[in-house]
Amino acid sequence: MAFARLLESKAHLIPGKFAVNELFFEVPKDYGNPERGTIQLFARSVSRYEKPTTVISEEERRKKSMKPWFVYLQGGPGFQCSPPQNSSITNAVLDKGYQMLYLDQRGTGLSTPISAATLALQGDSNRQADYLKLFRADSIVKDCEAIRRTLTDEYPTELKKWSVFGQSFGGFCVLTYLSKYPHGLREAFTSGGLAPIGQSPEAVYKATFKKVAERNKAYYKKYPEDVDAVHGLAFHIKSKGGLKLPSGGILTVRGFLTLGRHFGAHGGLDSVHDLVLRMKRDLEQFQFVTRPTLSALESAVSFDDNVLYAILHEAVYCENEASNWAADRVGKTLREFQWLSQSPQSPSSVREAPLFFSGEMIYPFLFDIFPELERMAPVADIIASYAGWGELYDTWQLARNEVPLYAATFIDDMYVDYGFAQETAKLVKNCKQYITNSMYHDAIRSKTEGVMKELFALRDDSID
């Protein structure tokens, strides 16, 4: 495994007694073919700033700085890390004696970000697709290993391994890490991140659509007035041929009904209701939806600022097979989501069949209604039909895993199916779980203290 070349490091003190370093690295674009060139990665390291009471030597300072590393891998794919001072787990981890590394995974944040314009630099659609194939978990963990080797090069042997934490898709990356480079890990943590190992994309979406339907029922039970409101808004949007969004995109009925992707988070039902209420009140007062409401809607449904998520979302489930727009195909077979292939029902059927919102699924029509995604539609189709994806997990290695894995698992997770998560847990030796039905998928952000307390208890406590 290659070392990452450290290109730049800038140190800053941030309120909260955080010593933050902004780090830029250079790594191979394609580890299997280094001649294809390099990309840049960005990460922020953070440790607790401690002002010495007396003057210390440079050697003493260097030794004090050699704390064990704890790496945070963001969910996604396609989302960057927040600055350490804005991340809810920073203090909990630093208080345990670690220094942290927040890595923007390749293609996100400042790590050679993917957009329609930057992707176009690769050439035609086929070249763009070939480039995007290098942005899955297998490449991400190679980046991690290259950076680990660089940052710990002068560390004593006992500190060369590091700890890794994966939220959601970041947890998928952790399982890939355990499969391919366990020698680099001291311990691993996940939150809502036990990937559905061995499951096809179709199986994943059949399971998650069921949970989405449950969350729709919970939504309409909490906000029964929205049964009529959502139907009314759908017919308004249809009558106008879609609503033009501030960025130039068009909010269609189907686009509107993807708001349900927020149902799986704490407060998600309430945030969707707030948007429905705002739209309804706008129409009652002005007979049109106002710009502030349209801006809020666009922020809630568009992936134009996170295109990697839209393009690679189904690919994260693929090993030696194509996804072929699995969510779209599965959804169209389900009665509750027939709007994927036809217009909403007539007003007379509202009471019997409220319109169900979709979850985090990605559909081909999204590449028709949002400007940035529209420019990338041809490459998205190539990715969806690609069947040559390599294996992400090594079940033989996971069954012999010696790296402790501590996982927070949520029974009512709308995004990572609980049943599949339990099957995965059985595949991984030395996996301990904190399982709860009182938290949702985003608990590491919404219920940080509770999750971190339980994860560290799994590590530090004994049940006997």
Which are the catalytic amino acids? 168, 413, 441
Q: Taking CA 415 as the corner, what is the angle to CA 268 and CA 421, rounded to the nearest 5 degrees? A: 135
**Nearest one of 159, 94, 178, 137 to 404, comparing CA atoms:** 178
Instruction: Please give the Cα distance from 411 to 434 (Å, whole number).
Output: 10
- The bridge status of strand 18-28 relative to strand 38-48 is antiparallel
DSSP state of 75: S
Cβ atoms 43, 103 nearer than 8 A: yes
Q: What are the C-alpha distances in Å from 386 to residues 2, 323, 390, 440? A: 28, 8, 11, 33
Cβ atoms 163, 70 nearer than 8 A: yes
Query: How many other CB atoms are there within 10 angstroms of residue 432's CB atom?
Result: 15
Cβ atoms 71, 101 nearer than 8 A: yes
Cβ atoms 323, 315 nearer than 8 A: yes
Query: Phi-psi region for residue 361, left (φ > 0), alpha (ψ -120 to 50) or beta?
Result: beta
* Cα maximum dimension of the chain: 80
Q: Can you spell out the DSSP letters for 98-109?
A: -EEEEEE-TTST
